[in-house]
Amino acid sequence: MTELILGLETSCDETAAAVISDGGAILSNVISSQAQIHARYGGVVPEVASRRHLELVEPVVADALEQAGAALEDVSAIGVTQGPGLVGALLVGLSYAKGLSWASGVPLVPVDHLRGHVASLFLGEEPLAPPFLCLLASGGHTLLLVVRDYDSHEVIGGTRDDAAGEAFDKGARLLGLGYPGGPALDRLARTGDATAYRFPIARMEGLDFSFSGVKTALLYAVKDLGDAALAEQRADLAASYERAIVQALLQRIEQAAESMSMETVAVVGGVAANSALRAGLLARGVRVAPLALCTDNGAMIASAARYAPKLLETDYLSIDAYSSR
Ligand SMILES: Nc1ncnc2c1ncn2[C@@H]1O[C@H](COP(=O)(O)OP(=O)(O)OP(=O)(O)O)[C@@H](O)[C@H]1O
Ligand SMILES: [Mg+2]
């Protein structure tokens, strides 16, 4: 009989829950984004996020179960994000999941959020199988990973300063595009000329990344223009800025694949939703996570839970959330 896994994710500003089968089919994937609430502050306010998770976690889980046509008793494991992320936000999901496990007797599986992003590739009709080289590019991380097994990875490169998603968000803010910035910059860039400005691509040692230089270059370009000219140039600036980030990612992926002799390459995380990056990756035969699974979601957490140890009552009661690795 097919076993079902419930996945719960509350590490940042998405309250998300999903039900998957033990074969990796997604039966439901409910995501309630708080982006609108945080938009007026220009970024996620941790305390506000925790309070909203508290209101949303129960209905979101109930919705995920209902859409999957399942009851809690049908579930064989509850996967939940343990970290990294905002500790207050994580604690809401983790405490709720502990309560569910305690009440139902279903084992709990604490999941690392980054392993969750990688596990977005193990779902659906055409799941990817290790080994592969993986770029994880999200709001808080930009990492090159060698994934040899379903349950582990080795870090071979990372950013020295901003994450790629953070660079998108900060660039969007400089261009007056509001929050969340990455998707807005993506949309605007489609209408601009990506060769209008030459923004720098950092040359770091080894397989590391740096995005602070391109961000500073955009800051000066915006300052030099003044308001009227900026309005006219905004789309070209967005397209050129996006191009510099995308090129930096594509170049590093190619270099890493060659130096590690890895044939299969994949990209996961919120930045993998970027349309210019997706086009560049598809042209190079690189696998990219399905669009709906790039930004935070419960399905990827349930997917990672398939390959992580199950904790039985009372072993999970003492586990704690962690903000960083
Ligand atoms: N279309 C897009 N183009 C560029 N960036 C995007 C796009 N869509 C989302 N992003 C970026 O992806 C990031 C969100 O991704 P994700 O949800 O994976 O990050 P996170 O969970 O906040 O961080 P982490 O996973 O590192 O803890 C944001 O920085 C956002 O701007
Ligand atoms: Mg994430």
List of residues 6+ apart from 100 with CB closer than 8 A: 6, 61, 72, 78, 106
As a whole number of angstroms, the distance between CA 111 and CA 54 comes to 20
User: Does residue 296 have its Cβ closer than 6 Å to ligand 1?
Assistant: yes
Better-scored residue on pLDDT, 95 or 39: 95
* 79 three-class SS: strand
As a whole number of angstroms, the distance between CA 90 and CA 78 comes to 15
* 206 three-class SS: coil
Average predicted confidence (pLDDT) for the chain: 97
Nearest residue (by CA) to ligand 1, atom 5, is 182
Percent of all residues in the chain with a pLDDT value above 70, rounded to a whole number: 100
Nearest residue (by CA) to ligand 1, atom 12, is 270
User: Does residue 273 have its Cβ closer than 6 Å to ligand 1?
Assistant: yes
Burial class (CB within 10 angstroms; exposed 0-12, middle 13-18, buried 19+) of 40: exposed
As a whole number of angstroms, the distance between CA 3 and CA 22 comes to 5
Q: Could you tell me the distance, in angstroms and rounded to a whole number, from the CA of residue 127 to the centre of ligand 2?
A: 20
Per-residue pLDDT band at 180 (split at 50, 70, 90): confident
Q: Could you tell me the distance, in angstroms and rounded to a whole number, from the CA of residue 15 to the centre of ligand 1?
A: 15
pLDDT for 247: 98
Full-model pTM? 0.97
Q: How many angstroms separate the Cα of 216 from the Cα of each of 143, 198, 316, 323?
A: 22, 13, 45, 28
pLDDT for 39: 87
Model confidence at 1: pLDDT above 80: no
Nearest ligand 1 atom to the CA of 181 is 31
Q: Confirm if 197 and 221 have CB atoms less than 8 A apart.
A: yes
Q: How many angstroms separate the Cα of 51 from the Cα of each of 23, 68, 324?
A: 34, 27, 21
Ligand nearest to the CA of 301: 2
Peptide bond just before 180 cis, omega within 30 deg: yes
User: Does residue 139 have its Cβ closer than 6 Å to ligand 1?
Assistant: yes
pLDDT for 2: 83
Can you tell me the mean pLDDT for 101-124?
97
Domains, the chain: 4-122+295-318 (3.30.420.40), 132-289 (3.30.420.40)
pLDDT for 325: 79
Instruction: Write down the H helix ranges in the chain.
Output: 35-39, 46-67, 87-104, 113-119, 164-174, 181-189, 212-259, 275-283, 298-305
Which strands, in side-by-side order, build the sheet including 4-9?
A: 26-33, 14-21, 4-9, 75-83, 108-112
Can you tell me the mean pLDDT for 98-119?
97
Q: Could you tell me the distance, in angstroms and rounded to a whole number, from the CA of residue 94 to the centre of ligand 1?
A: 22
Q: Confirm if 18 and 6 have CB atoms less than 8 A apart.
A: yes
Q: Beta-carbon neighbour count of residue 115 at 10 Å?
A: 23
Nearest residue (by CA) to ligand 1, atom 31, is 182
User: Does residue 141 have its Cβ closer than 6 Å to ligand 1?
Assistant: yes
Per-residue pLDDT tens digits for 223-276: 999 889 999 999 999 999 999 999 999 999 999 999 999 999 999 999 999 999
User: Does residue 107 have its Cβ closer than 6 Å to ligand 1?
Assistant: no
The DSSP line for 148-170 is EETTEEEEEEEBSSS-HHHHHHH
Per-residue pLDDT tens digits for 126-163: 999 999 999 999 999 999 999 999 999 999 999 999 99
Nearest ligand 1 atom to the CA of 140 is 26
Q: Confirm if 54 and 61 have CB atoms less than 8 A apart.
A: no
Q: What is the rounded end-to-end Cα distance, in angstroms, of the chain?
A: 37
Per-residue pLDDT tens digits for 184-202: 999 999 999 999 999 999 9
Distinct helix (H) and strand (E) counts, the chain: 9, 10
User: Does residue 116 have its Cβ closer than 6 Å to ligand 1?
Assistant: no
Nearest ligand 1 atom to the CA of 275 is 1
**Angle at Cα 164 formed by Cα 252 and Cα 242, nearest 5°?**
85
